[in-house]
Structure 1
Amino acid sequence: MKFIFSFIFFMLVGFSFGQSFVISPHDTAGSGEPGGSFELEVYIINQTAEQRTMLATRKNELLPDENWNTSMCFDVQCYPPYVDQVGGNIPANDSMKFSITFNTSDQPGYGEALVVFEDYGSGDKDSVLFTMETARQPVFTITYKDTTVQGIAGQDLEGSGYFHNISNDSIIAYVSRISNDIPETWSSVLCFNICLPPYLDTDSTKLGPGDSLLYKLTFFTDSVAANGSATLAFYADAGTDTVKQLFSATTTPTALEDEDPIVSGAFRLLGNYPNPFNPGTTIRYYLPKAAHVRITVFDILGKTVAQIADERQAAGYQAVYFDAKHLPSGAYFYRVQAGSWIQIRKMLLLK
């Protein structure tokens, strides 16, 4: 009889010798894409034989930026983000869902919120730390064919690779030259969807799911041995992560080019600058002695499009300006002939 009375008393006071409630974690840590809303939840279990009034207070909220916020729900009743304390009644020996929603921005980040649960009647407390991390899933990869290129002074040196769309959707792919640390007499040209003039830095195009496209960065060097570099940035649509890659070029002289033309007494073609150009460029060369100079420009099919010099010139450094405003964009070659000395170089007109 005494045992039965003690058991009934124990039930009526609601397990007064222990915690009146326990928390059953369901989802307390989440992850996902930036810009989404993510609900995390726990269940509060009433361990007593009477209804309990529970309070949930949000404390120590740490969010990555002002565009993140959290909002809480107790059972089916939800509250706006500015409400820090919510509550509800849990029937005897029953449970109730509590959830907190992280509303994130379009930037990746990590946030957390500590929620303290309290039995209003008994004063029993417990707490749960909810965490949320957002990160972008990659939608593209970049492969590199040549990032370090070498050649003879005056050659065009090319770095290249592929932009791959690895997502299931079409994307707008961007390639941008974000640095261009090259000698003053060099130029670099970015080709992706099209080949850009040297003064433009960014190109973009649409890539379908699984598509790939070649990109190229060409260094147009002059006849003096030197080195230079440029950095390309790759990204897709607004807000995606950016991949950066440095491309470098080094030119070395030939035995003849390593000498001062005045000392060596040799003919020397110094190249044209700028290259690429629009609409004009200057071709420079050195004559160790007076000679009849003929400079001819022809297209990639070998057709002559201009003759810009055909005269006797004095010894020394010479320069001839070529105006190509009447010609379409494209690659051209110029041949400099001085007596028996002949040399040919390529130049690129970009309009």
Structure 2
Amino acid sequence: MFGFLQAPAAPCCGRTPDLWRGQFCGLATRMHHDFGSWSRFLINRDSTFLALAGFSDQEHPPRLSTCCNPLAKPKLIYDTGRHVEYAADITLCALGIKLRDDACDETWPRRLLAKIGERTLAPAVDKAVARLNTTGFPTATVAETILSQHEVEQSQPDALGAANPTAQAYGTIFEQHPGANSLQWRNIGTSLGKLIYWDDAWRDWTSDLRRKRFNPLSHTPAPELREMMAHEFQDFQNQIEALPDIPQKATLLQVATQTGSQIPQVNETPEQAEKKRRRREKRESEGRKWHDWCDCCYCDCTSCSSSARCCGGSSGKADACFDCGPGDSGCIDCCPCDGCSCS
């Protein structure tokens, strides 16, 4: 699973910073320990961002361990502390709410699968809910807010009104984080909730039309929604920049920078944006290769800044180019790999 947020990348080769990888693997390890190995598949970049929000290097030191592959070289992971436990509990609760919603709001095959899943995963979800309740987190209120989304959409609101339940829920989740309890984090969560809802509406526009389901683009033109996303993302980024000097601030800003490059352009239709997104994801999965004898890789479009093409090198130098496609953003004519540690 992948979330709305993008993983941070170093200036060259898209190498993920150690802190982000340590939080991602630490959250996976924590969920495996608390809820079973199946729960690893629920981890996404948004839940990792939540775990990182309450991180403190003094209170939660890392440990050397492997994550998914026991034969791999051990690396620093952050799997202890209330911040990662909180992110794990929120992830499980979100799954429980999703299953409850699908059991009432989908076609009969999906309703049946949702009901089966809800019963099967009830012990794990109950454990997460109970643990959150002991901290004073308003579990029932947040669940009701999210489940009210269907009722809100029945009134055919515009994009701003339709995003309110998701925005309120995310705002509460980030404000109540044990390591980040503040109004500033609530604003960050609120902005993130709006962006996630609008991005999902953008992705689902074609399928919602076909299935005759509500989509806020029916009442908010695509260029207007794109402008709203741009303004909201700027608020999201400004709130992160205004955070005090905490250890994870640089990584959070990298996440925001990478995410901003993925927001659809003003002149794109939802269909064009989704087609470009699929092409970019395919290119990223196939085009990024690690050198077999040193710590080098092909630079990808997400690592670069502007114009038309990006380059990668089989020997740590920029000697191979990948076509980004017409209208793609985040590419340059030549992306040198000066930062690679080739010898």
Give the TM-score taking structure 1 as reference length: 0.20
User: Which of the pair has more CA radius of gyration?
Assistant: 1
Greater relative contact order (Cα < 8 A, sep 6+)? 2
Q: Whose strand proportion is higher, 1 or 2?
A: 1
